[in-house]
């Protein structure tokens, strides 16, 4: 069969790549065309558009790039028509994907959604579009099943979280090799900095993350470079000999880290699954933040706290994200009282996410129900 998959961010590329691998197991003759990234292409998808050309962060940034977004939408429709897939699979990226889904449904395409848009966080009214335009939804967070079925009467399948498989299936370098190859101190504990994958968020996050390093001289701070950004982009942050950087080795970095400062997003859950205490950071464009604050109804922004339904890891958001606050919260998790509690809570979190095999289960359901 022919599959058309649309993902628009680094996390979608990761999950999309594992879905492609699973689809090829379920359907060895699968012909897959996709919007995504290097991982999806490597897994066997033919890349129609790279996510780095589509990822815009925040409401203001989206407005400024409306012409590009509509151009991409037009191209996507034309590309689907030329490919004529048996099924279209959407991965998160709701602003774009729900527009394509509406058009696709009108033209008789089968539509599947893997990894739900976060309508439980904002603009819950989008459930009407999902009910109208999506044939089947495969969710990866435990509370999403109740949200859709009990609150909105829309049946979904909970398949577990694909990060569990992604982490277990990704090889990492041993500690000695990793430190030697990246010129890291062989003795100092590592504080990992995960500032995000988009230019705008990295620019906002890194400056404040790095501002606390002088207060922790016994640790070495290491930036996790995103695969979507070139090494040259990070150069301004690497002056002096106190800042370290590794490119496209986030999982290896986390596997050897002692603590982490993490921009809100999928990375917060990845960090938790590696068992690394963290402080969650977020600071957006002022206008975008003011808009988001008025439409997002959640008590927390990190997946860790949302899944656990309480504060497990500290979140420093917008004006709270200061050098003073970050220093205080980091001190609590490197040697302080919060470290043991967080590690214990992570064990409960992992149990809530279900077992292995999320991608394979989703692929099986897709192939069986086309």
pLDDT tens figures, 129-146: 999 999 999 999 999 999
In this prediction, residues 41-49 reach a mean pLDDT of: 97
User: Is the separation of the CB atoms in 251 and 170 below 8 Å?
Assistant: yes
Start-to-end C-alpha separation, the chain: 9
In the chain, % of residues over pLDDT 90: 75
In the chain, % of residues over pLDDT 70: 93
The architecture (CATH level 2) of 2-161+355-368 comes to: 3-Layer(aba) Sandwich (3.40)
In the predicted model, is pLDDT for residue 273 greater than 70? Answer: yes
* pLDDT number for residue 44: 97
What are the residues whose beta carbons fall under 8 Å from the beta carbon of 304, sequence distance 6 or more? 268, 269, 272, 278, 280, 312, 313, 349
pLDDT tens figures, 200-259: 889 889 999 999 999 999 999 999 998 888 999 999 888 766 789 999 899 999 999 999
* pLDDT number for residue 114: 97
- Let me know if the fold of 2-161+355-368 is the same as that of 169-352: yes
The C-alpha atoms of residue 34 and residue 11 are separated, in whole angstroms, by: 15
* pLDDT number for residue 48: 97
Residue 216's CB is within 10 A of a number of other CB atoms, namely 17
pLDDT band at 57, cuts 50/70/90?
low
In the predicted model, is pLDDT for residue 62 greater than 80? Answer: no
The residue among 279 and 292 whose pLDDT is bigger is: 279
* pLDDT number for residue 290: 52
Query: Which of the residue ranges 34-48, 78-92, 292-306, 310-324 would you say has the lowest mean pLDDT?
Result: 292-306
Task: For the chain, give every domain's residue range.
Answer: 2-161+355-368, 169-352
State the chain's mean pLDDT as an integer.
91
The architecture (CATH level 2) of 169-352 comes to: 3-Layer(aba) Sandwich (3.40)
User: Is the separation of the CB atoms in 317 and 205 below 8 Å?
Assistant: no
pLDDT tens figures, 185-209: 999 999 999 999 888 889 889 999 9
pTM, whole model, 2 decimals? 0.83
* pLDDT number for residue 86: 98
Quick one: three-class SS letters along 58-103?
Answer: CHHHHHHCHHHHHHHHHHHHHHHHHHCCCEEEEECCHHHHHHHHHH
In this prediction, residues 91-117 reach a mean pLDDT of: 96
What are the residues whose beta carbons fall under 8 Å from the beta carbon of 368, sequence distance 6 or more? none
In this prediction, residues 20-26 reach a mean pLDDT of: 97
pLDDT tens figures, 296-347: 556 898 999 999 999 999 999 999 999 999 999 999 999 988 999 999 999 9
In the predicted model, is pLDDT for residue 165 greater than 70? Answer: yes
In the predicted model, is pLDDT for residue 68 greater than 60? Answer: yes
């Amino acid at each position: 069969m022919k599959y058309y998959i649309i993902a628009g961010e680094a996390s979608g590329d990761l999950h999309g790549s594992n879905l492609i691998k699973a689809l090829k197991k379920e359907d060895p003759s699968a012909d897959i065309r996709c919007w995504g990234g290097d991982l999806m292409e490597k897994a066997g998808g033919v890349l129609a558009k790279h996510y780095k050309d589509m990822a815009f962060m925040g409401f203001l940034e989206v407005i400024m790039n409306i012409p590009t977004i509509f151009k991409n939408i037009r191209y996507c429709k034309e590309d689907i028509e030329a490919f004529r897939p048996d099924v279209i699979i959407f991965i998160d990226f709701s602003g774009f994907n729900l527009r394509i889904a509406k058009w696709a449904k009108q033209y008789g395409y089968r539509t599947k959604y893997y990894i739900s848009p976060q309508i439980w966080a904002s603009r819950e009214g989008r459930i009407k579009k999902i009910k109208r335009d999506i044939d089947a939804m495969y969710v990866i967070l435990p509370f999403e099943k109740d949200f859709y079925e009990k609150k909105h009467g829309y049946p979904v399948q909970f398949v577990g979280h694909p990060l569990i498989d992604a982490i277990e299936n990704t090889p990492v370098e041993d500690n000695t090799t990793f430190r030697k190859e990246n010129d890291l101190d062989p003795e100092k504990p590592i504080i990992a900095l995960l500032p995000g994958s988009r230019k705008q968020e990295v620019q906002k996050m890194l400056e404040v993350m790095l501002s606390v390093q002088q207060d922790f001289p016994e640790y070495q701070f290491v930036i996790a470079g995103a695969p979507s950004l070139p090494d040259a982009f990070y150069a301004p942050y690497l002056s002096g000999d106190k800042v370290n950087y590794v490119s496209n080795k986030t999982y290896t970095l986390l596997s050897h880290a002692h603590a982490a400062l993490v921009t809100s997003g999928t990375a917060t859950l990845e960090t938790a699954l590696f068992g690394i205490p963290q402080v969650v950071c977020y600071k957006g464009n002022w206008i975008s933040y003011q808009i988001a604050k008025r439409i997002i109804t959640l008590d927390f922004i990190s997946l860790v706290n949302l899944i656990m339904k309480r504060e497990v890891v500290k979140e420093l958001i917008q004006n709270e994200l200061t050098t003073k606050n970050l220093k205080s919260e980091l001190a609590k998790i490197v040697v302080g009282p919060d470290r043991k509690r967080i590690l214990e809570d992570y064990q409960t979190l992992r149990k809530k996410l279900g077992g292995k095999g999320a991608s394979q289960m989703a692929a099986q359901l897709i192939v069986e129900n086309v």
